[in-house]
Structure 1
Amino acid sequence: MRKLFGTDGVRGTANTHPMTAEMALRIGAAVGRYFRREAGGVHRVVIGKDTRLSGYMFENALTAGLASTGMNVLLLGPVPTPAVGLMTRSMRADLGVMISASHNSAEDNGIKFFGPDGFKLSDQAEMEIEEMVATGVRLAQAHNIGRVRRVDDARFRYGERVKSSLTRGLRLDGLKVVVDCANGAAHRTAPEILWELGADVVPIGTSPDGLNINRGCGSTCPRTAAEAVVAHGADVGICLDGDADRVIVLDEHGTVADGDQIMALLAARWAAEGQLQGGALVATVMSNLGLERFLGDRGIGLERTAVGDRYVVERMREGGFNLGGEQSGHIVMSDFSTTGDGLMAGLHFLGEMMRSGQPSSELVRQFVPVPQLLKNVRFAKGQTPLDTASVQSAIAEAEGVLNGTGRLLIRKSGTEPLIRVMAECEDEALLERTVDSVVEAVADAVQA
């Protein structure tokens, strides 16, 4: 079993195992050696980051580790995660690295890896790299140590790619847009792109100080943007997270639309135009049952995967699908990007507003969601509350109660020390009782 890697790379609190400078150095050396297994030729890696204070520390540690195995390192600076996937492929690099803990708070950080094709690494590759971290690697000879340089125009290259995904000639003239950049990686890129396309831009969350990423703003806290939408009389709000790989949309009243609603809009539109490859949308087990019914009514299939946008992408690649994502706002449009791209998805929503002439309030409500409740229980390192008999019993009882009327999903988060308990049911009172019964059992097991 993997010990370092979770569902989206290595993640944790900065300066606490495994997110220490020493471990980042070892990981850099291991992944560098992994991608230099074949001798000869020039080997290069691109490294991007978000705006966390600890990003400087990990950037330097990873750079040292990678260079020590002969990898030439290209530093992109603060860029969205999808920009790293793009630049890895366009610069013919062997490897891409993104230093970010995505939507987590500033004290956390993480390391995500992309292969030469711009896609995130497989579980098997991550397991092999973990083994190399544990056993150590052979370093390059002194004359073969890698070189390091900065790439100054990465965000501009990425911006052009994002704009090129839209219908040629599309402009956003007359559209007032609040864009919340979460004080993160897109704090300059997103407002610039919207302005270039003609929108009247109201930017918020664009003053990162290393400690305020995702704090009271962004896709995990859309209240700030919702207030700005109403106060400025904006037509729509776009909320990104710290590394801009997910998006939440707000209508002109400040009402929130999650990834399920955005995917429903895009899937229906693409299917009507014959652009939806494979006749299906790929989403995770967390997506609402209402989305599944909406798609079914239109003859569109729904392929469900484990939670994590890379599992969505793996299924898309296996089945030849070109649209997928997560309820949390990771939207993957594989015709244009190798991973979730919040800014790109947000622009396509704005494009649909311009094409249809409909207000955002008409587009954010594609289907009526089945009541869904999600609660989290935090646990300590080393605890395995889901393995206890009392929790197993509570889960079995809850599944029996919901049998035929809803569904229950309990899982361990791959990015935080949390047990997530989610259920769907038309009967909201029954829904709350069911979730609470499992949450109580998990909490008791944690405290025991």
Structure 2
Amino acid sequence: MSEKSLFGTDGIRGIAGEGWLSPERVNHIGRCIGEMLQRNPAALHSSERAFPGIRGRRRSLEGGGKIIIGRDPRQSGPGIQAALEEGLAARGVGVIDIGIAPTPVVAMLGALWNCELGVVISASHNPPAHNGIKLFASNGLKVPDSGEIELEKIILNGERRGAASTPGERTEAHDYFRDYFSFVRDVCLEGRGLDSVKLVLDCANGAQAVLAPRLLRELGADVIALNCRTDGANINRDCGALYPEALADHVRKHSAHLGISFDGDGDRAMFVDETGRVRDGDFVLAVCAGYLKAKGSLPGNAVVTTVMANLGLEVALREAGIDMVRTQVGDRYVVEEMLRRGCLLGGEQSGHILFLDRSNTGDGVITALSLLRVMLETGRSLSALCEGMRKYPQILINVPVREKVPLEKIPAVMEKTNYINENLADKARLVLRYSGTENKARVMLEGSDRAEIEALANEIARAIETEIGA
């Protein structure tokens, strides 16, 4: 398969208003998406798998278009959306605008409302000045690499067809709460409420700022909601899933059962237990895998995660008699492997968790409700449920770079890599990679001796910075 140059691991990303996110180019992207839907719509789909839990609920909105569009609250979002819609309309493609909405809501409603494609305008956990465009197939799965590559060819080589004789129409559907609420209530809790549960939320000043507090309150929870000021300039700023430690004091102060920290577009969540300790996606996978196995509900007896998962997760799952499968970083690759193996549970250390019997994409609210269900049904706190897993020291360093040359071509990096492979093969694990959404190299090293791996990780990071640092 050809390499992608425009699409990263999670769509097109960049500084809003620049490069491929300038108004002219976004308009062009919209026109090319329209051409792709006319020329080869099947290429935008990777699986015939239906979106779980919506049988009997599906319907088409009156006057609804082919594409559903949602966005996070970034200031640049409306302008990017307007340019994209203008390009789509020129190709005769109608859109349903749902306004500010978490990424998983767009994926779910696109399937529920019989749309051909879902578009999310967001840069997820990235800073406010960034933005992006990511695409979902009609069943809520992300458009596959092969589809993005074909779309890239149209974008980079130019359109072949002219404007449509009739422009596409635009429909607004901002009042989507009830459709999403009834769906997650039924698939995650099966009628159970959250009465007597106290939660503290960090909504990252992002797409979950209105939805998550309202939904959890309607389920009966006592909710203290933080960082819900969506002015578009403060999304992810010192808050949210990248800064879960900031939530710990609030959880202890309010004697809450659980703290939930969302990222900017709401597709992942990090947690803080009742003692104030941060619990990432590795802990969530360990807890949920053990619970599902005990119920006989873990198909394939396996959990799919990425190369970034902590060795402690692998050990905990092995001791529980559960297999662990690693993929490259990116939830799309986790999902692909889950579908190939018939697994229902997978995800990433970053808090992007996938329950394929409940959704076809990561959903921070579904992850939180699924974890709460385990706590309620077992009668155990999150700290107690996490006792079966011990994290190995892990160092992660992000190095800003000016270009992405193969890391194996940097002699000083390879010298340290070879040293680790030859001397610490059974004591440490090294992962070197570039970010798929930013100009950064990531150095991840884990092992039993924190001082040793921290020193080695810093040496590798300095070598990268010396050679190609920004």
Q: Which residue of 2 aligns with 1:35?
A: 37
Alignment of structure 1 residues 149-228 onto 2, 5 Å: 149-228=171-250
Distance 1:28 1:305, change over 3 A: same
Q: Which residue of 1 aligns with 2:79?
A: 57
Q: Distance in 2 between matches of 1:199 and 1:129?
A: 44
Q: Which residue of 2 aligns with 1:378?
A: 400
Distance 1:194 1:275, change over 3 A: same
Shifted more, 387-396 versus 318-327: the winner is 387-396
Q: Which residue of 2 aligns with 1:72?
A: 94
Alpha-carbon shift at residue 90 of structure 1 (Å): 1.3
- 1:43-64: CA deviations, max 9, x gaps? 6000011111111011111111
DSSP-derived class of the 1:202 partner = strand
Among 321, 334, 354, the residue aligned to 1:332: 354
Distance 1:119 1:366, change over 3 A: same
The aligned amino acid for 1:401 is: N
Alignment of structure 1 residues 305-316 onto 2, 5 Å: 305-316=327-338
Q: Distance in 2 between matches of 1:36 and 1:228?
A: 51
Shifted more, 191-200 versus 351-360: the winner is 351-360
Distance 1:251 1:215, change over 3 A: same
Distance 1:384 1:302, change over 3 A: closer
Alpha-carbon shift at residue 141 of structure 1 (Å): 4.6
The question of 1:114 aligning with 2:136 is answered yes
The aligned amino acid for 1:327 is: Q
Q: Distance in 2 between matches of 1:70 and 1:211?
A: 33
Q: Which residue of 2 aligns with 1:2?
A: 4
Distance 1:382 1:315, change over 3 A: closer
Q: Which residue of 2 aligns with 1:438?
A: 460
Among 403, 406, 409, the residue aligned to 2:431: 409
Q: Distance in 2 between matches of 1:398 and 1:441?
A: 15
The question of 1:44 aligning with 2:66 is answered yes
Among 361, 366, 370, the residue aligned to 1:348: 370
The question of 1:275 aligning with 2:297 is answered yes
DSSP-derived class of the 1:183 partner = coil
Q: TM-score, normalised by structure 1?
A: 0.95
Alpha-carbon shift at residue 72 of structure 1 (Å): 0.9
Distance 1:390 1:360, change over 3 A: closer
Among 15, 18, 25, the residue aligned to 1:16: 18
Distance 1:417 1:100, change over 3 A: same
The aligned amino acid for 2:175 is: D
CA contact (8 A) 1:394 1:441 kept: no
Among 286, 289, 293, the residue aligned to 2:311: 289
Shifted more, 157-166 versus 256-265: the winner is 157-166
The aligned amino acid for 1:56 is: P
Q: Which residue of 2 aligns with 1:102?
A: 124
Among 134, 137, 151, the residue aligned to 1:129: 151
The aligned amino acid for 1:248 is: M
- 1:123-157: CA deviations, max 9, x gaps? 11111111101122145555332111111222332
Q: Distance in 2 between matches of 1:447 and 1:248?
A: 30
Among 234, 238, 262, the residue aligned to 2:284: 262
Alpha-carbon shift at residue 27 of structure 1 (Å): 1.4
Alpha-carbon shift at residue 91 of structure 1 (Å): 1.4
The aligned amino acid for 2:8 is: G
Distance 1:14 1:47, change over 3 A: same
CA contact (8 A) 2:412 2:460 kept: no
CA contact (8 A) 2:399 2:469 kept: no
Q: Distance in 1 between matches of 2:217 and 2:453?
A: 44
In angstroms, what is the RMSD of aligned CA positions?
Answer: 1.8
Q: Distance in 2 between matches of 1:288 and 1:185?
A: 29
Unaligned runs of 5+ in 2: 42-63
Alpha-carbon shift at residue 298 of structure 1 (Å): 1.7
Q: Which residue of 1 aligns with 2:342?
A: 320
DSSP-derived class of the 1:219 partner = helix
Alpha-carbon shift at residue 314 of structure 1 (Å): 0.9
Alpha-carbon shift at residue 383 of structure 1 (Å): 5.9
DSSP-derived class of the 1:166 partner = helix
Unaligned runs of 5+ in 1: none
CA contact (8 A) 1:68 1:146 kept: yes
The aligned amino acid for 2:429 is: R
Alpha-carbon shift at residue 360 of structure 1 (Å): 2.7
Q: Distance in 1 between matches of 2:451 and 2:88?
A: 54
DSSP-derived class of the 2:13 partner = strand
Q: Which residue of 2 aligns with 1:26?
A: 28
Distance 1:356 1:381, change over 3 A: same
Q: Distance in 1 between matches of 2:20 and 2:37?
A: 22
Q: Distance in 2 between matches of 1:235 and 1:299?
A: 29
How many residues are treated as equivalent by the alignment?
Answer: 446
CA contact (8 A) 1:74 1:151 kept: yes
DSSP-derived class of the 1:281 partner = strand
CA contact (8 A) 2:91 2:164 kept: no
DSSP-derived class of the 2:343 partner = coil
Distance 1:447 1:220, change over 3 A: closer
Shifted more, 222-231 versus 198-207: the winner is 222-231
Q: Distance in 2 between matches of 1:404 and 1:142?
A: 62
Shifted more, 250-259 versus 389-398: the winner is 389-398
DSSP-derived class of the 2:165 partner = helix
Q: TM-score, normalised by structure 2?
A: 0.91
Q: Distance in 2 between matches of 1:366 and 1:48?
A: 39
Q: Distance in 2 between matches of 1:21 and 1:400?
A: 51
- 1:353-381: CA deviations, max 9, x gaps? 22222223213444001111111111114
Q: Distance in 1 between matches of 2:288 and 2:115?
A: 32
Q: Distance in 2 between matches of 1:181 and 1:100?
A: 15
